[in-house]
Each structure stands twice: as C-alpha cells, then as structure tokens.
Amino acid sequence: MFEQLCKTLDKDSMIKAKNRLDSLSKPLESLGWLEHVIIRLCGIYHTDSPDIMKKVMVIMCADNGVVEEGVSQVGQEVTSIVAENFTRNITAINHFTNYMKQDIHIVDIGMSSDSENLNIHNHKIMNGTCNMVKGPAMTKKQALDAINIGIDIVKEMKSKGYKLIGTGEMGIGNTTTSTAILHVFTGYDLDLITGKGAGLSGEGLEKKKNAIMKACQINLPDKNDPIDVLSKVGGLDIAGMCGLFIGGAIYGIPVVIDGFISSVAALVASRICPNCIEFMIQSHGSHEPGTKYVFEQLGMEPVLNMKMRLGEGTGASMIMGIIDLAFYTYYHMGTFKDANVEQYKKHE
C-alpha cells in the first residue's frame, strides 16, 4: 500500500561517493562499514556531498495491556514517569543526545495516562493497548493510524531540516509484544527468542512466554498479513516506529534502528513495504536473545555489540555519532595526490 510512494536510491551519487572514498589515502574499502554507510546515505540524499548535521531522536511512548499478565517487573505507571523524565533531561538518552548534539522528539502514541507536558507531543491512539492474552491488542485501523502517525512525523522532521532520524521507545511490556511478533513471523521457539526484558525473574520469564503463547493461540495472527500481526500481538510504540521506517522511504530520510523493539518495528515495516529497508541504518545488537534472529530476517548485521538492552534510542544515538565521524573523515581526509602516494588499484 505504501510501495508506490517510496523513493529510490540515486546510483550516480553512490558511484561518485565510492570513487571519492577510493581516492582517499588509505587501502581500498579499509574503513569497512563506515564506507558502506557513507555510500548508502549519499544514495538516499541524491548527492555525494550531503549535509547531515541536523539529527533527531524520535521516541515513541506507549503502554501495553499484556502487563496485566505479570510479564514485567514494574507497572505501567513507569512508562509515563520515564516519558516525563525525558523532558527533564535526566535519562540516559538525554545525555547521549546532548553529547552527540542531537535533538529529541517525544511522542505519546498510546500511554495509559494523559500528560499535559507540552514537550510530549500528543498523538495518542488509545490509552494503552488491550491485553493481547484476552483478544487483539488493537484494531487494524488503530495499527494503521499509528503507522500513519509515524509517517507524518518523518514529514514534519524533514520540514524542520532534519537529515537523520533515530528511533527510540518507552513502553513497559514491549519486549513481550516484540517477541510475540518475531515468534509469529518466524515460528522460532519461545525458549530461544524470549529474554528477561527489564530484569524478570525465572518465574517472570515463564509468565512472559506463556502470555505470548496464549495470545498467539487466542488471536491466530496471520504471519502473511503484517498489519494483522501488529494489531493482534503488537504495540502502538512498535506501530509508530514502523511508520517512521516507512516514512523514511517515502520522504527520502535515513532512519536508524535502535535495539530489539525498534528492530522488530523495522521488520514489520519491511514486511509491509519491502523497499523501505534501503532507508534503514542498523546500529547495535541488543542483548535480548531475539535480536540476532530479527537481523537475520532483515538481512543485516548490527554494527556494534555492547550487550546493551536499555532502549530509548541509545544505540541509535551512538551510531549517528559514528556516522558523523565517518562523514568528517570523508570530507577532510587527504587524497593519494595530497599524500604523494600512488593510488591503490582494485584487482578482480
């Protein structure tokens, strides 16, 4: 449904970027993924000299009814507390983005409580999803509405001059919904892909796996219909980030994947709109066990592996800083001519 709206990469700009990289005084392709991401972003921006200085982290905040099943160590109230703390500049993502000189855009797409904080942008679909163990988490219309909000936010960020968008989330219970989606798409055993999230006990982990299994048995999500899967066992934060990834392809803006929940949103987006995967940039591999299986489905490898599992967009923030470093080198490093060294030649 979104495929015809997606932009394509500019191959000429990618070739120019590759040639420029090959002219720098270093062995060919010796900067590895840094060269790959430079070339990809030049293709997205349709120029071999993009300005990527202005960046924003979009954090989708939502609650999940499945928390009723004891799948989290804390209650739903923590979602809104942490969302408020984002605006107080005291959380991890605040300090990551402060250091990296990135902005933050906080979205209430489905928190159970209402906020009057003007720094939390109200795009609420509903006050938290329903308990997916008792029926669908939301309707298909609500899932699509959340996706469209994500797409519209990309349009808004582009109009404000942002060149790179990172994805973040806050939602108690969202490793449960993310694992449920991955389980439906892949059929992988829950013992293999289910993690303890924010510190569950062994008993809590069993509750989590049982809740996912019951939700799938009751709702029978159709793995060939990603909107059906998202609406029945997903979350509004995942749907909103899914929209960010699709919006990136529609408006020609690269969107950075964060951790497990964000990568599952990217997977849903790729099932809805396969072309949008070209506009996704991977960051790190979350310590959640399902992460490596999501990236296998996406055909990607995480760039960083630091055993992080915080979410909020922290991994995406770091990789955006590394992208800054890559382009700084691309623009300022001397060429073989500058270095009085004969240029390397590529052999077949």
Residues forming the active site: 312
| b/e map 312-330, b = 16+ CB within 10 Å | bbbbbbbbbbbbbebbebb
CB 180 within 8 A of CB 217: no
Tokens of 209: 């796996």
**Pairwise CA distance, residues 306 & 288, whole Å:** 12
Distance of CA 2 to the CA centre of its chain: 18
Q: Give the containing element (helix H, strand E) for 55.
A: strand 55-62
Tokens for 176, please give them. Answer: 């449960």
Which DSSP letter does residue 125 get? S
What separation in angstroms does the CA of 11 have from each of 8, 187, 203, 276?
9, 37, 52, 16
| CA dihedral of 321, 256, 178, 205, whole degrees rounded to 10 | -10
Please tell me the distance from the alpha carbon of residue 41 to that of residue 53, in angstroms, as a whole number. 13
Q: How far apart are CA 207 and CA 192, in angstroms?
A: 15
3-state helix, strand, coil in the chain (%, to 5): 55, 10, 40
